[in-house]
Chain A
Amino acid sequence: MRLTCPLCGERDRREFYYYGAEDYLHRPSEGAPLSEWDSYLHLRDNVAGVVRDLWYHEAGCAQWLVVTRNTVTHEISGVELVAERAK
């Protein structure tokens, strides 16, 4: 599997570290009820199909990436910088 980093180009999977679902970008606001924190930290859609996950380009540009990927075919349809996305 190879990921195309927006900054470094197409790189081997081993340069990247998988963190988890995109849910981690949606941190509950301060004072949110416990159930929201539980959902944010623990509960996942975990679909068989297209997902958006966070990867870290550990051995490259050290950027966090949102990767759009199919969990059944391992096909990658998009890689974006988290930093760009937040703007």
Chain B
Amino acid sequence: MRYSGFRVIAEALTGHKGWKPVWRDPDPKPDYDYIIIGGGGHGLATAYYLAKEFGQARIAVLEKGYLGGGNVGRNTTIIRSNYLLDGNEPFYEFSLKLWEGLEQDFNYNAMVSQRGIINLIHTDAQRDAATRRGNAMILHGADARLLSRDEVRQMYPWLNFDNARFPIKGALMQPRGGTVRHDAVAWGYARGADQRGVDLIQNCEVTGMRIENGRIKGVETTRGYIGAKKVGVAVAGSSSKVMAHAGMRLPIESHVLQAFVSEGLKPLIDGVMTFGAGHFYVSQSDKGGLVFGGDIDGYNSYAQRGNLPVIEDVAEGGMALMPAIGRVRLLRTWGGIMDMSMDGSPIIDKTHIEGLYFNGGWCYGGFKATPASGWCFAHLLAKDESHITARAYRFDRFLKGLMIDEKGQGATPNLH
């Protein structure tokens, strides 16, 4: 069923009796050409592009819970391509271009809203760094603007411009950045994949991998053994657990990142904003809640809940930037598990096991990458070679000293 304005009107006039379930709920077949482990944003996007762009068939997505029940429904919904390094910026700009055409492409309203993102500048050194970053973005075909203090003040006059320690001196803006309705991304990709014959198999946890003579034969699951010619793993947050079935140790630690939403307010912030003097970022949802977050909790964790010190730290960042929110009440906080990689950048690569492919290590930047991650992983699965924008995301970059260390922190997962 295609969605359209006409369809909405026709259904409204006939009592909404014509809507159908958006995807099937099939039982697993004995074998497939491709198995994607992980029914989150990245896994569903991979299956969708594998079927649509690379013409492949006999594809299944295996999800241990329900579709979109992991980090794709837990993030703060921001899209942007304001990276500095050569290994990253072309990939994230490719992703932003895919976001721009996504809703037409999969015929689903994902509420892609290019409301602009600004990274605030508080010192002269930060302005130099922002200028360099903006230039790098422009060189890779993205958009960037350096805003003066007065331009920022026109946008958000109520920010704490004259904070004694962290006065606001300007901002780096990416006008094409913005937010997306995150659940709808999973649902849109799921629907699109299902329409192209992909079996989306839920409540199906992978419990083992059958590997013979260095080649993958299939996976053991809670719904029985399923054979496959190629298996792609896209389970960021649980990567180490799943890849342990193949005997692999990864350059990844799992960490919990918290996110927050306030009670609904009248329109206050029309874009996305990041504080440059602490780790705090914020946007406002269409329902009026301030959606914000900050640092990861800082220690290895698989608990999808965080600790109070980080809540305090994030609240302090918010207050330093926006004293006006001091009496706003917090509605909800929650946590998601991040694959924190050793250099803060992801991996989309083959493994040493023939037919086994890996996509993970997204740190806390996985949501914005969803379309390009799916596209590039599908490219790798179908053609056995990396997509041009994802060539740097290799397993062996750590051994070879080719780290993509956007933040310059070295091999310290909790500091990226």
Contacts and interface: CB of A to CB of B under 8 A. Distances in A.
Contact of B301 (A41, A42, A71): A71
Contact of A71 (B249, B254, B412, B413): B254
B398 A44 contact: no
A1 B300 contact: no
Interface string A31-44: 00011001101111
A84 interface: no
A48 B302 contact: yes
20 contacts: A20-B300, A20-B412, A39-B249, A42-B342, A42-B399, A42-B411, A44-B251, A44-B253, A45-B240, A45-B249, A46-B249, A48-B241, A48-B254, A48-B302, A53-B299, A71-B254, A71-B300, A71-B302, A73-B303, A74-B301
Interface of B: 238, 240-241, 244, 249-254, 298-303, 307, 309, 342, 398-399, 411-414
B360 to A, nearest CB: 11
A72 B303 contact: yes
Given A41-B411, A44-B250, A1 B240 contact: no
Main secondary structure on A side of the interface with B = mixed
Which 8 residue pairs across A and B have the least CB separation, nearest first?
A46-B240, A18-B299, A48-B302, A43-B249, A42-B251, A42-B398, A38-B399, A71-B302
Contacts of A18: 298-300, 414
A39 B398 CA distance: 10
B300 A72 contact: no
A14 to B, nearest CB: 5
B240 A20 contact: no
A79 interface: no
A21 interface: yes
A62 interface: no
B411 A53 contact: no
A25 to B, nearest CB: 16
Contacts of A74: 301, 303, 307
**What is the interface residue range for chain A against chain B?**
20 to 34
Nearest to A49: B302
Interface of A: 1, 12-14, 18, 20-21, 34-35, 38-39, 41-48, 51, 53, 55, 71-74
B399 A46 contact: no
Contacts of B342: 41-42
Contacts of B413: 20
Nearest to A71: B302
Nearest to A73: B303
Contacts of B399: 34-35, 38, 42
Q: Which of A38, A41, A71 is most buried by chain B, counting CB atoms within 10 A of its CB?
A: A71
Contacts of A73: 303
Contacts of A48: 238, 241, 254, 302
B249 A13 contact: no
A72 B256 CA distance: 11
Contacts of A14: 309
Contacts of B301: 71, 74
A38 B398 CA distance: 7
A45 B301 CA distance: 13
B25 to A, nearest CB: 28
A19 to B, nearest CB: 8
A34 to B, nearest CB: 6
A39 B411 CA distance: 12
A17 to B, nearest CB: 8
Nearest to A72: B302
Given A20-B253, A39-B249, A71-B301, A44 B240 contact: yes
A46 B411 contact: no
A51 B250 CA distance: 16
Given A43-B251, A48-B254, A72-B303, 19 more contacts: A13-B307, A13-B309, A18-B298, A18-B299, A18-B300, A20-B300, A20-B414, A21-B253, A38-B398, A41-B398, A41-B411, A42-B251, A43-B250, A44-B250, A44-B253, A47-B240, A53-B300, A55-B299, A71-B300
